[in-house]
Amino acid sequence: MKKLLILFCISICVSTAGFTEDDTTQVVMPKTIYVGDRAELSYTFRSAVDFFADMNDSALSREIALKSLPFETDTDDYTILDASLERNGLLYTFRLFFIPWNTGSIDFPMFDISAAVYGGAAAPFIIDVQSIEVSSILQDQDEAQLRESMGPLLLPGTMYALYFAALLSVILLIVIFRLVVKRESVRDAYKTWKLLRLYAKNAKELYRSLKRLERAGKKIDDAEFCTELQQLIRRYLDFRFGYRFSAVSSPAIMDTFEKIMAGAMSEKTQSGAMSLAAVLRRTDYVRYARGSIDSKKEPAEEFAADLKADERSSLIRIVRDAVERFEGDN
């Protein structure tokens, strides 16, 4: 009953209230609209009809459902996003938010705002929106063709950094190319370097063992000293030349060197080999000639099967010198 009374009052007010074109204003924002812009249409009119009669007195705006508008809201020319109605006394403002998709004129059809607000039961109140122009950017700039694109903006000093990066890339490519081409040479060089490190490690282990043997002093007799010294020499030679010198007799040492070096033995290697062969022969004599007839021959300094004073240190020094010649011949 209350709703019927409200609609009856609206009908009376509409029938008694009049308006002229001077009572309406239309504003479009932005002033110049281009394709894809979000635009706002504000249509202000005067009316004695209370379009908020079904709402609280404090209400100043209301949403208008797009489906209540009597025309399409999504076409090839435009898309309507939102619609609302605001009031200020007897003045009302109908707002329409839309996006145009084509240049030219947009003509929204006349429609009944009363029907949009209240449905078909209220007296009609027609809103007639003027045509809206959608501009072309090319026409506004008076250009028939787009300008050529500008190059990217660069920070000061960027070009120098780019030139440096390009130069570095070229150098890196050259290095990679040469490494690929000479991969076999690089691999061989690495193997040689690794082998030399192992040789150096082998020599250092021998030096440490010789130092411990020299410090043993009188704790071991001459025979034990000579046995240990021979084992150290042969162990070093096994790894250094990749041949089992531990199975070679002392008299055959030089022949074995000639064999494994295939006649290409350098002067340093030959000198070191001769020194070690002499040490091995001397230590063999001390080990095996004690108590023999030869050990009792005269002069005793030449045939005695005992090491002379400081001969241990002398033998160790000869071994060190020979190893240094081997390692220095790499």
- At 46, which CATH number? 2.60.40
Q: pLDDT at position 275, please?
A: 95
Q: pLDDT at position 163, please?
A: 87
186 lies in some domain: no
Let me know whether 115 and 9 are in one domain: yes
Range of the domain at 219: 205-327
- Domain boundary residue among 135, 159, 192? 135
Let me know whether 308 and 227 are in one domain: yes
Mean pLDDT of 234-257: 92
What's the domain count of the chain?
2
- Residues 295-325 have pLDDT tens digits of 666 665 566 778 888 899 999 999 999 999 9
176 lies in some domain: no
149 lies in some domain: no
- Residues 89-145 have pLDDT tens digits of 888 899 999 999 999 899 888 888 888 888 766 677 888 889 999 988 766 665 555
15 lies in some domain: yes
Mean pLDDT of 12-17: 39
- Domain boundary residue among 135, 159, 176? 135
pLDDT above 90 as % of the chain: 38
165 lies in some domain: no
What's the one-letter identity of residue 66?
Answer: L
- Whole-number average pLDDT of the chain: 82
Q: Categorize the per-residue pLDDT at 227 as very low, low, confident or very high, splitting at 50, 70 and 90.
A: very high
Q: pLDDT at position 113, please?
A: 86
Let me know whether 7 and 125 are in one domain: yes
Q: Categorize the per-residue pLDDT at 198 as very low, low, confident or very high, splitting at 50, 70 and 90.
A: very high
**Bridge partner list, 80:** 98
- Domain boundary residue among 105, 135, 165? 135
82 lies in some domain: yes
Mean pLDDT of 196-213: 94
159 lies in some domain: no
Q: Find the angle CA(74)-CA(75)-CA(79) to the nearest 5 degrees.
A: 45
Let me know whether 220 and 127 are in one domain: no
Let me know whether 222 and 314 are in one domain: yes
Q: pLDDT at position 154, please?
A: 61
Let me know whether 115 and 226 are in one domain: no
